[in-house]
Amino acid sequence: MKEIIIDKEHSVKKLGNLFGLFFEDINHAADGGLYAEMIQNRSFEFSSVDRAEYTPLTAWSKSENLLWEVRDSEPLNSANSHYLYVKAEEGSFIENEGFNTGLYLVAFKKYLISFYAKGEGTVSLSVPGAVSEVDITIDSLEWKKYSLEVMSKHLTTEGRLRITFKTCGEYCFDMISMFPAESYMGIFRKDIADALKEMKPKFMRFPGGCLTHAGSLDINARDSMYRWIKTIGPVEERPSWRNNWGYNQSLGLGFYEYFLFCEFLECEPLPVVPAGFNPHSGEGAPLEEIDAWVEETLALIEFANGDKNTKMGGIRADMGHEEPFNLKYIGIGNEEIGEGFFERYPFFHKAIREKYPDIKIINTAGPFATGEGHRAGWNSAIKWGSDMVDEHYYSSPEWYLANMHHYDDYDDNGPHVFLGEYASWSNTFFSALVEAAYMTHLEKAPAVELACYAPMLCNKDYVNWTPDMLWYDNRDILKTANYYVQSIFMNYQGEEELAVTTHNLDGVIKLSDSDRLWGECSITGNDVEGRIYDIKLTKADGTVIDHEDFKISTDNLKNTVYTDINESEYTWEFSFKREKGRKGLKIAFGKNPEEETYILWEFGGWDNWDCNISSFVRGRASTISHRIFHVTDEEYRLKIEVKGRSIKTYVNGTLMNDTVDRLPEMEELYLSASKDSEDNIYIKAVNLQNEEVTVNISIPGARLKKAVGEVFTGELTAENTFDDMGTVVPQHFGRIASDDGFEYTFKPRSVTAMRLMQHK
């Protein structure tokens, strides 16, 4: 009989705030997402700096009998410098189209409209087809705020907010805003906020991601990095900026609101600040100016935690929150791995440690699970005594299956792991199942302290990145299988991990026995033109296969060099000289059409910063080796050595990458057990097999009363969609459980979580 024995008296790890959320303003996560503002470009600040096709009138339209222009001569304030001037005839109008298909209004629900205006006359506000006209008299030649509440009579997803001029004349408008009255705190969209609160996250990382560090170093530049200090105060006095994901961010959701939202979710806030270094451009703030960046970070901690009599605590109190937010964590940087970051990090670290010794400081280890940047991040963290290191990776489900024990050897005595971004490349049930299996290992690994899936939110009409946890449009919200898995692990987390022993459950099932990387070899130019020459492939028996020289001419032109190399050992080498362009080559080998797999060596990848090896399965990449490298116009001799599934690359005779493409395998049952302070015991189990797994669960000394839980099963390819949101949804169950154990059958392809309650 298969058996699981849970030692309820033997705690092996404190789980603390293990499972949480990561909010990045990507995919219109804030405006057109969690921020419930229905008006797009409410303050006429959109600009082509934010997105090439934007103008200050984006999302606005007008009737023909009206003249308009966006002006900046007499602004509402200097941060909000543009406003709309109109010369209106009686009956003329302006309209805003909102996000997605338009404004979403529900019959008999209330909406709050407000705007700033100058002028004299009567205007009426309406949403044609949903809200009838409501007249307002504009009676000031100075900026004045007007507010009203309206009720919708009908449902629409295509509403337009219309301002109709009842009196001809000249008017100015700014900050034209509309929120559903049921938004939480007048800020947060209810359905998205509810879905997140139901998860019971323990923390929320914000506001990014690349959003934090991609941009100009100039705090006043429109394309500045994310500078939290510019995001607080009255919303109408905040700038409306470029978001590095190619749109505008109104900053209505600023750091004060993020803290409020964490309070609403009852989770710990985990803000991330830039360290004065932009890894995309390689630009860094001069070290003699780094103090200003450090001071801004200290000011953030004071804003969150300072008493109302401190300068920043006073600003928080004036905004409406006298009590401190009790910030415990701060992240310095996001994925920066160049020297430029590591020389700046200590300035932040030392100043925070000295002034706020209780704050946990989080260093960063780049965008890959392994490699040079990852090592550099850890070395920096160990050197300076960071509390945690923020790791990020997006990989194929097969990578997760091959690397379930990734954290087993991490040292619990050094800095801990904050897995700040991870996902398996899709929203299918298979990906979610594999993530669940991985989470049982995250829970057990002694060094893993915090973990959150990424990205969290995506508006379906403004996609920057997939997969994402929650999708939505102006009306609906779509919970993915990945969402349900995250939610299950948060709801059934527990406080202390328990020791578990198993009998007859330790089997590991191999999912592939391919002992070699065989198949096509090809070279693609990555934003370059150049020459490939002196090409030869040497087999293990010494046979050499030459290939004629060729030119790499345009991106995406694949040059197949060898078609069918079915060897378990070979060396492939060639010379490369770049003649034009900024990057390098994409060198693919071992391309196996049957298994849809191949290995890619990116020589000068990303922004010509990387020299990576990635393993592709069905088009999904997992980076298995990373080096920092910039390709120049010099001549290179490149060599790849393949032995079985081991890969070594050399550049001009120097070893560059050295890695193994591990094969996926499946454990018989992935399992974790924990308990909380009320003596409830939690079991989470993931069965990846196509068959049931029946086990005897025993908990010596337990006096079980009942079990409640969730079972999540489905077809591996199943995916929730806007047309069918219920394809894969967990089912709740409750059952009697008595004494100290019971037999349980874990369904095929399932995640099961249960809370076992005991007699007092």
- Residues 19-78 binding ligand AHR (CB under 6 A) are 24, 26
751: tokens are 């995640």
- Contact (Cβ atoms closer than 8 angstroms) between residue 371 and residue 408: no
Backbone φ/ψ region at 89: left (φ over 0), alpha (ψ -120 to 50), beta: beta
Write down the least CB distance from residue 304 to ligand AHR, Å: 22
Q: With respect to ligand AHR, which residue has the nearer C-beta, 136 or 210?
A: 210
**Strand, helix or coil for residue 155:** coil
Cα torsion for 293, 297, 303, 307, to the nearest 10°? Answer: -110
Q: With respect to ligand AHR, which residue has the nearer C-beta, 455 or 581?
A: 455
List beta partners, residue 589. 599
Q: Segment contacting ligand AHR (CB under 6 A): 41-49, 208-216, 261-269, 644-652?
A: 208-216
- Residues 482-521 binding ligand AHR (CB under 6 A) are none
Q: Segment contacting ligand AHR (CB under 6 A): 205-213, 228-236, 618-626, 731-739?
A: 205-213
Pattern of binders to ligand AHR over 289-328, x per CB under 6 A?
----------------------------------------
Write down the least CB distance from residue 623 to ligand AHR, Å: 11
Please choose, from the candidates 185, 193, 181, 176, the residue with its C-alpha nearest in 3D space to the C-alpha of residue 39: 176
Please identify which residue in 392, 416, 441, 684 interacts with ligand AHR, judged by CB under 6 A.
392
Pattern of binders to ligand AHR over 405-424, x per CB under 6 A?
----------------x---
- Contact (Cβ atoms closer than 8 angstroms) between residue 178 and residue 38: yes
| Residue 334 touches ligand AHR, criterion: CB under 6 A | yes
Q: With respect to ligand AHR, which residue has the nearer C-beta, 335 or 668?
A: 335
Q: With respect to ligand AHR, which residue has the nearer C-beta, 365 or 697?
A: 365
Q: Segment contacting ligand AHR (CB under 6 A): 207-215, 281-289, 425-433, 699-707?
A: 207-215
Strands (E), 335-487: 360-364, 388-395, 416-424, 448-452, 457-459, 470-472, 477-479
Amino acid code (one letter) for 440: T
Question: CA angle, 435 as apex, 430 and 441 as ends, to 5°?
Answer: 135
Q: With respect to ligand AHR, which residue has the nearer C-beta, 423 or 498?
A: 423
Q: With respect to ligand AHR, which residue has the nearer C-beta, 390 or 668?
A: 390
Write down the least CB distance from residue 122 to ligand AHR, Å: 47
Write down the least CB distance from residue 704 to ligand AHR, Å: 41
| Residue 465 touches ligand AHR, criterion: CB under 6 A | yes
What's the number of CA atoms in the CB half-sphere (13 Å) around residue 124?
14
DSSP letter (8 states) at residue 98: -
- Contact (Cβ atoms closer than 8 angstroms) between residue 349 and residue 317: no
What's the number of CA atoms in the CB half-sphere (13 Å) around residue 612?
22
Write down the least CB distance from residue 261 to ligand AHR, Å: 19
Q: With respect to ligand AHR, which residue has the nearer C-beta, 372 or 421?
A: 421
- Residues 367-386 binding ligand AHR (CB under 6 A) are 367
Q: With respect to ligand AHR, which residue has the nearer C-beta, 50 or 421?
A: 421
246 contact partners, CB below 8 Å, separation of at least 6: 50, 51, 464
Q: Segment contacting ligand AHR (CB under 6 A): 206-214, 229-237, 487-495, 603-611?
A: 206-214
Write down the least CB distance from residue 145 to ligand AHR, Å: 36
- Contact (Cβ atoms closer than 8 angstroms) between residue 205 and residue 23: yes
- Contact (Cβ atoms closer than 8 angstroms) between residue 189 and residue 36: yes
| Residue 275 touches ligand AHR, criterion: CB under 6 A | no
Q: With respect to ligand AHR, which residue has the nearer C-beta, 369 or 528?
A: 369
Label each residue of 690-710 as H, E or C. Answer: CCCEEEEEECCCCCEEEEEEE
Q: With respect to ligand AHR, which residue has the nearer C-beta, 146 or 206?
A: 206
Q: Segment contacting ligand AHR (CB under 6 A): 95-103, 203-211, 527-535, 603-611?
A: 203-211
Please identify which residue in 335, 443, 449, 667 interacts with ligand AHR, judged by CB under 6 A.
335
| Residue 280 touches ligand AHR, criterion: CB under 6 A | no
CA pair distance 605, 591, nearest whole angstrom: 19
- Contact (Cβ atoms closer than 8 angstroms) between residue 728 and residue 714: yes
Q: With respect to ligand AHR, which residue has the nearer C-beta, 208 or 373?
A: 208
Count of H helices and E strands in the chain? 11, 49
195: tokens are 């879905």
CA pair distance 441, 406, nearest whole angstrom: 9
Please identify which residue in 56, 209, 331, 467 interacts with ligand AHR, judged by CB under 6 A.
209
SS3 content of the chain, % helix, strand, coil (to 5): 15, 45, 40
Write down the least CB distance from residue 245 to ligand AHR, Å: 8
Q: Which residue has the tokens 């096509």?
A: 520
Size of the site for ligand AHR (CB under 6 A): 13
CA pair distance 421, 625, nearest whole angstrom: 18
Pattern of binders to ligand AHR over 210-249, x per CB under 6 A?
x---------------------------------------
| Residue 468 touches ligand AHR, criterion: CB under 6 A | no
Tell me how far the alpha carbon of residue 681 is from its chain's centroid.
Answer: 31
Give, for 165, the enclosing helix (H) or strand (E). strand 161-165
- Contact (Cβ atoms closer than 8 angstroms) between residue 66 and residue 164: no
Q: Segment contacting ligand AHR (CB under 6 A): 127-135, 202-210, 268-276, 395-403?
A: 202-210
Pattern of binders to ligand AHR over 159-198, x per CB under 6 A?
----------------------------------------
Write down the least CB distance from residue 454 to ligand AHR, Å: 4
Q: Which residue has the tokens 């400081």?
A: 361
| Residue 208 touches ligand AHR, criterion: CB under 6 A | yes
**Strand, helix or coil for residue 444:** helix
Please choose, from the candidates 607, 626, 606, the residue with its C-alpha nearest in 3D space to the C-alpha of residue 615: 626
Catalytic site residue from 45, 335, 421, 602? 335
- Contact (Cβ atoms closer than 8 angstroms) between residue 573 and residue 638: yes
Write down the least CB distance from residue 478 to ligand AHR, Å: 18
| Residue 439 touches ligand AHR, criterion: CB under 6 A | no
Q: With respect to ligand AHR, which residue has the nearer C-beta, 369 or 671?
A: 369
Amino acid code (one letter) for 572: W
How distant, in Å, are the alpha carbons of 40, 56, 92, 97 from that of 59?
Answer: 6, 9, 18, 5
Give, for 433, the enclosing helix (H) or strand (E). helix 429-444
Return the residue nearest ligand AHR (CB atom): 209
- Residues 525-554 binding ligand AHR (CB under 6 A) are none
Note if 529 is an active site residue: no
400: tokens are 């997760």
Catalogue the active-site residues: 335
Residues that bind ligand AHR (CB under 6 A): 24, 26, 208-210, 334-335, 367, 392, 421, 454-455, 465
